[in-house]
Each structure stands twice: as C-alpha cells, then as structure tokens.
Structure 1
Amino acid sequence: WAGCAAAVEATRLGYQATLFEATRIAGGRARRVGGTLSGEPVVLDNGQHILIGAYAETLRLMKDLGVDADATLLRMPLAATYRIEARHLQAVIDGCQMDLEQNRYLDFPGLKQYCHLVAGIVGEVAARIFGQADEATTAYAHKLGLAFQLTNIIRDVGEDAMRGRIYLPVNELQQFDVKAHEILKRQYSDRFSALMKFQTERALALYDEALAMLPQADRRAQKPGLMMASIYRTLLREIAADGYQVLHQRVSLTPLRKFWLAWKTQAFGRVV
C-alpha cells in the first residue's frame, strides 16, 4: 500500500509510474492465523483494517486526482459487462469497516444493515454476473444474500465468539435469556437451542421469500445462486437436526453431498 501511495504521488508530480506485486502466498482478507491465548485457541487478525483502509483510501485518492471512480470502474472489463458500479464496492467496504469496528448488534435491524452491505449487495452483483434480464431479480438476489449471511452467522456462532464477535442481536439474546458469557464459554442449554431455532426459522423464511421473488425469465441464468441456496438450506436443516451444536464445531456438508445438491438443482431446476 505504501508503494501504491508513492505511485499516486509520483503521478501527481508528473512522473510515470508502474506498480508490480510479487508474493509467495495468496493475500486477501480471508487469510487468518491460528494461535492460543491463555491456553484457548484464537484466530488472529491478518491486518484487515489495513486492507479495508487501502480500498477506501484508493477511492479518496482517485477523487483527489480528479478521477471519476464510476467512469473508471465502468471501463474495466467485468464492470463494463456486468454493470458493476462504484456504489457496490463502497457498500462492501462500508460493511467490512463495520466488521472491524463493531462486534455486537443491539437488534435485528442493525444486523440486517450489516448483512445488506456485506451480502445483500454482493448478491446483487452476483446476479448481474450470472445473467440478469429482469430488474425484479435484484430484489431476489439481495434477499438471498441476506439469507446466506444469516446462515453463515448461525453456522459460525462458536468461531465468531472466539474472535470476540457475537452477531446474534443483543435483544434476542435477552428475549431467550441467553448470556454472552455462555456463548463465549460454549455452554449449551435449552434456552440456547430455542434462540438458534428462532434464528434458523428466520433464515429459512428469507430463503422462501427470496425464491418466490425470482422471475421465471431469469431462473435458468440464476442457477448458480439456486445451487448455493440448496446447499445452504440443507446446511441449516443439518444444524437443526444436530441440535444446534455450533458452539464447539463448524457444521458442514461433505463435498460429495454439496455436489449432489448442486447437480440436482442444475438438472431439475428446483431448490431442495
């Protein structure tokens, strides 16, 4: 990032600059390092704040140099083909920034705003890439993205708690009398099961609502999203069947089962 900033400054002074990047391992926000703290396993941050800050600073520098971000992004092959706009990138940046600065949400509207930024907008972009002819598909894709993110939150309650984050809304924990320290200490109870049943039913309802909104004209093109919906809905049912044992483990489907679900959706066009 320092090299990028230097190149921008050199360009501003009238020099030509070319940037090269070399690395032995893949970079990116998803990289993480495992460690221990007081004998307990923890996942160490990989400098996400630096990366997100770099994205935001890039947009600021473009503005300072008089570069129209929308026009510039539209000249990029993917953006030009799929109508990806600067607002989509900014929304994801804002969502990631929320992730870095906020680890609790008071209520579902607050959590939903976070999901809107990191998943709903991503769903909209994905729908454009898959192939979108009907504008109504945008609403379907956005709601499906919310359902995916809620599924991730349900699946990763234990892992997220290890990182100091509890995405489940505070008022809903209070509603079911589940204490944050119980989640952090991986303590199961009937109250926790009831809370997770509530979360799961809401996510499943979002899948139903999203699928009902998909226009027939785009159903074939949107099959990648439908395949993901089959896999994620099945995962939710597995979590429920396992008694919501998500504090000490990450429930997942086998690769073969995921392939089978995707194949059935591709072959028959129906979400399981």
Structure 2
Amino acid sequence: MSEALMQHATQTIAVGSKSFAAAAKLFDAETRRGVLMLYAWCRHCDDVVDGQELGFAPAAVAAAPHAAGHDPVKELALLRDQTRRAYAGERMHDPAFAAFQEVALKHGIEPRHAYDHLAGFAMDVEEARYETIDDTLRYCYHVAGVVGLMMASIMGARDPAVLDRACDLGLAFQLTNIARDIVDDAQIGRCYLPAAWLREAGIPQDEIALPRHREALANIAARLVDHAEPYYESAYAGLAALPVRSAWAIATARLVYRQIGIVVKRRGPRAWDTRAGTSKLTKLWLLLRGGFDALSSRIRTTNSPRPARLWTRPAAESAAGSAGAAAGGLHAAPATAA
C-alpha cells in the first residue's frame, strides 16, 4: 500500500506540475515522499471540485457541469468530511486521502491549514469576485500560500517567521499562475484579477479573453508579475532555515516559477498564444542557480525583518476561526493586510 501511494503521488505531480516535479527530485527521500503526497491531495481536491482529472475536464463536464451530475457544493462538503476523517485516524480508501493522512499525521500539519486550503476551492464554487489586489492575495493565500505552510511543516519548519516566508513563496507562485492563465481562466468564466485594475485598463470583465484587449491585458499581467517580486524576494530569506537539500529544491522552484512570470511579461500581448513555461535547458540552469542560492542564503544571513508592506497571512487565532468556518460552510475567512 505504501509503495502504491508513492507511485500515485509521483504520477500525479508528473502530470499536474512539470515545473515543481523537476524541483521535487532534489529533496531527500523522506521529504520528497511527504511533499509528493501533499501535492497529490491538493491536486485531487482541486480536480474533484472542478470535475476534472489532473487538471483536465472530461468533455461532458466541461460542456455542462451540472448536467453531467457534477455538484461542486456537495463535492466540497465531501472533501471536508474526508479531511476530518483523515485527521481522526479513520482508514482512508481514496489514494489521495490515504496519502494526505500519512503526511498530515506524520508531520503534524495543522488541520486549520488543510481547511484553509479547502476554503480556497469554496471561493471558486461561490464565484468570488476580487475588487482589490489584497482580495486577490486573499485567494492566493487559500489556494497556494497555505500550501507553502504545509510544505514547510514537512521540511521541519516551525518558526512563524520562517512560515511567513513559505507563505510568501506560495503567494508569489499563485500570482505568477494567475498572470500566465488569465485568458484560459476567463474562457471558463473565472477571473482572479482585481476588478479595480480592469476598470483602470478599460477592460470589461466579460471581455477579458477577447483579442482586442490583449495590449491592455498584457499591462495588467506585467503589473501582476511585478507585484509578485517582493514575495519572491521575501521567500529567499526563509531558505537558510531549511535543510540544505530542501533549500535547494525550494530555491529551484522559486527560480522556475519566477522565470515563468518573466516570460509572460516579456511576451506582452502574445503571452497567451501558447502556455508560458521554461525549457529543459533553462530548468537545468535554474537548478544550478538554485543550488547557489541555497548555499548563499546560509552566508547572507542578515535577519532582516519581513517588509511590512507585504500582505500578511491570517494570524493563528483568526485562521483557527477560518478552519471552523470552512468545516461548516462555504465562506472563507476574511483576510488581513499588512
């Protein structure tokens, strides 16, 4: 069973995230197992709510989700219940939840973090709208920042200051993802861009995917990529607290995702002609740079405080309330801004 879970998790990340799969190979065996199993659970939850498989929707569901029998509200409620049962130590038959149970109980992943992640899917189910960049960052926290917190727990991080940096990397990743996927998201009726930015650019929200708005949309994407930069910078400061191989893996993932944002910005209006990514050669170069960053972070220990201007994850007290809300309803907790 143990090997079957690992095989399932490895296959999941190989299909679901080629960028992170490459970096994950740098972890030591035990950490890699935990990271892959957590990823498998996150991917599973995302797919269940969206009616997809490894990020791809069956034709029937894509054409008419409810007609195909897909009810995201019920699916989300089931995910919450399965998460509760996993933490209670019940035997889990679903491979993704068996994997999650193993990693969550072994590494002491806090239940509120798992429920906060599910609250991010609830925001999609509710078709949440984002007026400001802080609203967008609140979504980024739930779907990616809190994943950074859980990943850091697997790597042994417990210091709140280090966890803040891990959350910052998740925020940066998701801002990059949003910039890369603006048009694809719009084509399925989703938008994570601040409505205020769209109004400033003169783009109606229901016209985001139209070619005539590409120039203005490229400016918004560039603005989003620029907004991710201080979070990528903040994340660097957390590398020194991780075991060296974990630091190498995370430093590499940081560089690869950051490079995707650079590609989106460089392409301008043609950013969405093909999916932005990095070549194998570029990944190899960034892997080497990641090793340098992992080592240099141990030398350049300035202990500089996290910039106050950055969006701040919910405090432990409010996040605990968020977990309770996520367990009982669809509404995510309000975010706090720095």
Q: What is the TM-score normalised by the length of structure 1?
A: 0.73
Aligned ranges 1:57-136 → 2 under 5 Å: 57-58=81-82, 72=89, 76-132=101-157, 134-136=159-161
Equivalent in 191, 212, 219 of residue 187 of structure 1:
212
Task: Say if 2:23 is the partner of 1:33.
Answer: no
Q: Tell whether the 8 Å contact from 1:158 to 1:249 is kept in structure 2 after alignment.
A: no
Query: What does residue 288 of structure 2 align with?
Result: 263
Aligned with 2:291: secondary structure? helix
Against the structure 1 CA distance between its residues 264 and 114, is the aligned structure 2 distance closer, same or farther, given a 3 Å change threshold?
Answer: same
- In 2: Cα distance, 1:71 partner to 1:34 partner: 33
Match of 2:145, as an amino acid? G
Against the structure 1 CA distance between its residues 258 and 44, is the aligned structure 2 distance closer, same or farther, given a 3 Å change threshold?
Answer: farther
Deviation at 1:196, TM superposition (A): 2.0
Q: Tell whether the 8 Å contact from 2:145 to 2:171 is kept in structure 1 after alignment.
A: yes
- In 1: Cα distance, 2:212 partner to 2:150 partner: 39
Deviation at 1:222, TM superposition (A): 2.8
Match of 2:79, as an amino acid? Y
Deviation at 1:48, TM superposition (A): 7.2
CA RMSD of aligned residues (A): 3.2
- In 2: Cα distance, 1:175 partner to 1:140 partner: 31
Against the structure 1 CA distance between its residues 48 and 265, is the aligned structure 2 distance closer, same or farther, given a 3 Å change threshold?
Answer: farther
Query: What does residue 75 of structure 2 align with?
Result: 51
Deviation at 1:248, TM superposition (A): 3.8
Against the structure 1 CA distance between its residues 207 and 44, is the aligned structure 2 distance closer, same or farther, given a 3 Å change threshold?
Answer: farther
The size of the alignment, in residue pairs, is 233
- In 2: Cα distance, 1:229 partner to 1:193 partner: 23
Query: What does residue 15 of structure 1 align with?
Result: none
Q: Tell whether the 8 Å contact from 2:131 to 2:194 is kept in structure 1 after alignment.
A: yes
Query: What does residue 185 of structure 2 align with?
Result: 160
**Structure 1 unaligned spans of 5+:** 1-24, 37-41, 63-68
Give me the identity figure in percent: 27
- In 2: Cα distance, 1:48 partner to 1:264 partner: 45
Match of 2:80, as an amino acid? A
Equivalent in 173, 176, 183 of residue 198 of structure 2:
173
Against the structure 1 CA distance between its residues 131 and 266, is the aligned structure 2 distance closer, same or farther, given a 3 Å change threshold?
Answer: farther
Aligned with 2:217: secondary structure? helix
Q: Tell whether the 8 Å contact from 1:223 to 1:265 is kept in structure 2 after alignment.
A: yes
More helix by share: 2
Q: Tell whether the 8 Å contact from 1:133 to 1:218 is kept in structure 2 after alignment.
A: no
**Structure 2 unaligned spans of 5+:** 1-10, 13-42, 91-99, 297-338
Q: Tell whether the 8 Å contact from 1:82 to 1:128 is kept in structure 2 after alignment.
A: yes
- In 2: Cα distance, 1:164 partner to 1:270 partner: 43
Aligned with 1:136: secondary structure? helix
Runs of 4+ in 1 over 6 A off after TM superposition: none
Q: Which has the higher contact order (CA 8 A, sep 6+)?
A: 2
Q: Tell whether the 8 Å contact from 2:239 to 2:247 is kept in structure 1 after alignment.
A: no
Deviation at 1:164, TM superposition (A): 0.6
Deviation at 1:224, TM superposition (A): 1.9
Aligned with 1:187: secondary structure? helix
Query: What does residue 138 of structure 1 align with?
Result: 163
